[in-house]
Amino acid sequence: MDYRQAGVDIDAGNETVRRIKSLARSTFTPGVLSDIGSFGGLFHLDRDRVKEPVLVSSADGVGTKLKVAFMTGRHDTVGADLVNHCVNDILVQGAEPLFFLDYLATGRLAPAVAEQVIGGVARGCRENGCALIGGETAEMPGFYADGEYDIAGFIVGVVEKAKVIDGRTIVPGDVLIGLPSAGLHTNGYSLARHVFFELAGWRADTFVAGLGTTIGDALLAPHRSYLSVVRPLVDRDLVKGLAHITGGGITENLPRTLPEGCAAEVDRRSWTVSPIFRLLQDCGGIADQEMFRAFNMGVGLIVVCAAPDAGRVIALTADVGCDAFRLGSVVAGDRSVRYL
């Protein structure tokens, strides 16, 4: 009897590490002091660049979007989803990413699949200027179904203490600016899969004319990172608050950035809801209220700014290719969202 007969292939684990080492090294920034394979990742914080550093951390996963990856056999996008989601989560407090760690767990390790997944993680890190300095690959026979895996990500970023965004200066009269999403991002997939694959009876390779692609490819559209869009706004002190629209939709996430005494009015006529959300609602017979709590509805991030700055915010986002729009306004209230 040996470990392989029990379901754990040490050789496959070593081969996976060999494949991903170069991927991780391609993300290294000057602050990285250790190589892949160390017991811990080392990172040197440049105190010449950040005088009063505040470290901001977050952890997240991709959820049941992974089921779509399993159905299509495409594993090269979910890793980037993971990084971009985590980057946005710390971005809303003004932080820039420093380094990232990943956790990949599976029942039976397939080095080629792991290489695709981590390749997506590395690509996301490079695009966001974030170093992938370590992680864990766990083979757990009997714990996951054959051909399935789970991934989680852990990010650490930094922001100047004086530049922390916490929403405390938001007041009634401020403006909400919406930044468009690229689809479902990484939330609402349990409901979406139920609607499309069970109620509608579609397969991942079913072509949907209204979307111009297969439903599998539409659902795998990458979670968008807003770092390059928001950084110019933060650098110019134009941002009073930020909300990443993830699980819970606009309804649950926008109030998280509002101080006591403030509520939000969102004008549903101010943007055109993405076709995939209209399709979901029509196929599933889903009520409007549930749609806005389960999905981002085409709004991936919301910027809160002073009313006189709204035009400049929209212009600056356009400079980096983002079609931002005036979504609504802040009003007096009880940290809730009202839809007009």
Per-residue model confidence as pLDDT tens digits over 178-216: 999 999 999 999 999 999 999 999 999 999 999 999 999
219 and 126 in a single domain? The answer is: no
12 pLDDT higher than 80: no
Domain membership of residue 169 (yes or no) is no
Are 109 and 211 within one domain?
A: no
- pLDDT at residue 185 in the model: 95
| Residue 224 binned pLDDT confidence (cut-offs 50, 70, 90) | very high
- Of 4-13, 17-26, 123-132, 196-205, which range is least confident? 4-13
User: Residue 94 belongs to a domain with what CATH number?
Assistant: 3.30.1330.10
Residues 58 and 116 in one domain: yes
Report which of 206, 339, 195, 177 is spatially closest to residue 277, judged by C-alpha positions: 195
Q: What is the mean pLDDT of residues 254-263?
A: 96
Q: Are residues 154 and 184 in the same domain?
A: no
266 and 297 part of one domain: yes
Quote the pLDDT of residue 38: 83
Report which of residues 309 and 50 the model is more confident about: 309
Q: Are 27 and 132 within 8 A, CB to CB?
A: yes
For position 100, what pLDDT does the model report? Answer: 97
Q: Which of 225, 241, 117, 239 is nearest to 168 (CA)?
A: 241
Residue 107's nearest CA partner among 138, 134, 81, 130 is 138
Does residue 174 surpass a pLDDT of 80? yes
Q: Are residues 179 and 158 in the same domain?
A: no
Flag whether pLDDT at 146 surpasses 90.
no
Q: What is the pTM of this model?
A: 0.93
Residues 241 and 179 in one domain: yes
- Domain of 218? 175-339
Helix (H) / strand (E) element for 92: namely none
Are both 207 and 321 inside the same structural domain?
A: yes
Are 42 and 134 contained in the same domain? yes
Burial of 68 from C-beta contacts in 10 A (0-12 / 13-18 / 19+) = buried
218 and 138 assigned to the same domain? no
* Dihedral angle, C-alpha 222, 228, 233, 237, nearest 10 °: 110
Q: Are strands 175-180 and 149-160 parallel, antiparallel or unpaired?
A: unpaired
The predicted pLDDT at position 5 comes to 57
Q: Are residues 97 and 187 in the same domain?
A: no
- pLDDT above 70 for 158: yes
Calculate mean pLDDT across residues 11-37: 84
- CATH code, domain with 242: 3.90.650.10
For 69-111, the pLDDT digits (tens) are 999 999 999 999 999 999 999 999 999 999 999 999 999 888 8
173 vs 262: CA distance, rounded Å: 10
Average pLDDT over residues 126-144: 92
Same domain, yes or no, for 140 and 250?
no
Mean pLDDT (the chain) is 93
Contact 7, 139 (CB under 8 A): yes
Pick from 140, 163, 186: which residue ends a domain? 163
- Top pLDDT among 312 and 14 is at 312
Query: pLDDT at position 2, please?
Result: 56
Kindly state whether residue 75 falls inside one of the protein's structural domains. Answer: yes
Between strands 131-139 and 96-106, the pairing is parallel
Which pLDDT band holds residue 220 (cuts at 50, 70, 90)?
A: very high
Q: How many domains does the chain divide into?
A: 2
